[in-house]
Amino acid sequence: MSGAVEIAKGIHLVGVKDPGLTLFDDLFPTAFGTTYNAFLVRGATHTALIDTVKGKRFEELMDNIRSVIDPSQIDYIVVNHSEPDHSGSLAKLVKACPQATVVSSQAARTFLGNQIHAPFESKIVKDQDTLDLGGRTLRFIAAPFLHWPDTMFTVVEGEGVLFSCDAFGSHYAGEGAFADEMPDFSGETRFYYDCIMRPFKDRILQAVEKLDGIELTLVCPSHGPVYRKEVRKPIELYRKWSVPKAGGKRIAIFYLSPHGNTESMAEAVARGASLPGVVVTQCHINHASVADIRDLMEESDALIFGTPTINRDIPKPMWDVLAYLSTVSLKGNIGGIFGSYGWSGEACRMAEDRLKGMNFKLPHPFVRTPFMPKPEVMAECEALGRAIAEEVLKK
């Protein structure tokens, strides 16, 4: 963005757009770029800057601030979250504003101490603490693990302006500042949630509950457009996406089967797991979307993986599925492994090590067989499924 945008009286968006960004943090594709949002809030006696920008965009931030006030007039720099895309310019900023006090949670202060190797004035705030700017008050709301332990929200009390940091954001650098000025970017909002927030669903529900009693007029995330219409829409979407689905005990079997042998084993595992009170779902991973696989992982009390061995390794599609385990909020940590192989069978051991590394309980050793499974192998697959179902029913 060029210059500051006044989004409410005495509140300016002074952040920076990065429309050419194609990969965020070297991890997530950003088809529409992103924004690094920062906000200037002025009271009668004091001025606060809410968040900063990525280090490489410091001069643009300063130009935007200068279009509103002299940066030396900033009294407080509020760090809602210390990840470098928000705090990367903080070291330069505290030099430019030597009288400014950095306001943050205790966790953020600890993290900042490991990023900025120079002294700076700091103020630690806790949940529901306030800061008077002179006729305008900031209230801080602890929101840990959205998506770091240090995260908090900042609200302009009585005015309903919420600075929500990463929550409710999207990597979308459209024309203008407000969501209602943009084409539909809801797909980017969901993708952002899935990539960053999804593992912390219980924390999301705790955080959005704290917002229920606040009448909001603006929702200002750190990435993407500002919401001034339907301001609760992104909040309610987060709630909807995070509420656990009701139901009985569930077991999901994820498998890959180039020649049908591992699929035959999956069917035997499913038969063994289908005890009264247990719903078993078989999922051929090449016939399901990433979202479907993640949803099934989160809905299930136990996860079983069937993998062939190709070139002495787990095939990449199954490696990808195993990698999703760290991107979801799991109900349980019960699991199992099975698979067919040709001349070597390393994949089952590798997959088992992955589950052990994530503290999964494995009620039955992995079952593997060369090529087509014999009847005794099928019986062992049924035993594996049954052992896992029995473990699930104990909980």
Supply the pLDDT for residue 246. 67
Amino acid 69: pLDDT: 96
pLDDT of residue 2: 58
pLDDT of residue 68: 96
Provide block-wise average pLDDT over 10 residues at a time, the chain (395 residues): 86 95 83 95 98 94 96 96 92 92 97 89 97 98 96 97 97 94 94 91 95 96 96 96 84 96 97 95 95 93 96 95 93 95 92 96 96 96 98 92
Q: Three-state DSSP class for 46?
A: coil
Kindly state the helix (H) or strand (E) to which residue 219 belongs, with its residue range: strand 218-221
Q: State the Cα–Cα distance between residues 271 and 264, nearest whole angstrom.
A: 11
Kindly list the structural domains of the chain, giving each domain's residue range(s) and its CATH number in brackets, ordered by start. 5-242 (3.60.15.10), 249-394 (3.40.50.360)
pTM strictly above 0.75? yes
For 14-127, strand residue ranges (E) read 16-18, 23-24, 28-29, 34-36, 39-42, 47-50, 76-78, 101-104, 122-124
- Cis peptide upstream of residue 147 (ω within 30 degrees of 0): yes
